[in-house]
Amino acid sequence: MRHCNKCDLDKPKEDFGNRQSHCKPCVRIYNKAWRLENAAHLKIAKAKDFQDNKVARIALMNAWKERNRSKTRANTEKHRRANPGAHCAKEAKRRSAKLLRTPNWLTEVDMQAIKEIYIKCAAMGKGWHVDHIIPLQGKLVSGFHMPSNLQIISALDNSIKSNKWEIV
């Protein structure tokens, strides 16, 4: 038995961490209160940490997704079923943006070229995406859905690039 200095009760040794004078339930209560008091600071620190380590974090997330494909698919499907309206809205917005950003002056040759890019990407395997060089829904500029604005890049590079257009 050990004595907790916080709740002033005698508790079994298993209720204490190494060299702690407070029991685990008291430590949990303290930590929860501290996180609530410092929520804004923690949010800023977490965002900064993510930005500082963005490439490594995204690589870790993608590696986890790759190792846990069935779990990722199950979670996605579970979210889709629980939020059908949100899923439909997201897909409709994407289709609409693609249609609005497909110029009506594209020829059949251009449309065939777009199709061939997607076929080539599919043949390369799961680790590759067709990416719009200039995003269809960019904040500053929006690109067209046309062959000269499409590229095949790795899934990792595409998730890092996200919905941005960087001038090199």
Of 74-78, 114-118, 138-142, 147-151, which gets the smallest average pLDDT?
A: 138-142
pLDDT tens by residue, 30-89: 999 999 999 999 999 999 998 999 999 999 999 999 899 999 999 999 998 998 888 888
Range of the domain at 41: 20-52
pTM here?
A: 0.50
Q: Do the domain assignments include residue 71?
A: no
Q: Are 129 and 153 in contact (CB under 8 A)?
A: yes
> In total, how many domains does the chain have?
2
Angle at 10 between CA 9 and CA 15, to 5 degrees: 100
Whether residue 152 is predicted with pLDDT greater than 80 in this model: the reply is: yes
Per-residue confidence (pLDDT) for residue 79, from 0 to 100:
92
Q: Do the domain assignments include residue 10?
A: no
Q: Do the domain assignments include residue 151?
A: yes
52, 67, 95 — which closes off a domain?
52
Q: Cα separation of 9 and 56, whole Å?
A: 45
Q: Do the domain assignments include residue 88?
A: yes
Whether residue 168 is predicted with pLDDT greater than 70 in this model: the reply is: no
Q: Are 151 and 133 in contact (CB under 8 A)?
A: yes
Contacts of 7 (CB under 8 A, 6+ apart): 22, 23, 25, 26
| Domain identity same for 41 and 90 | no
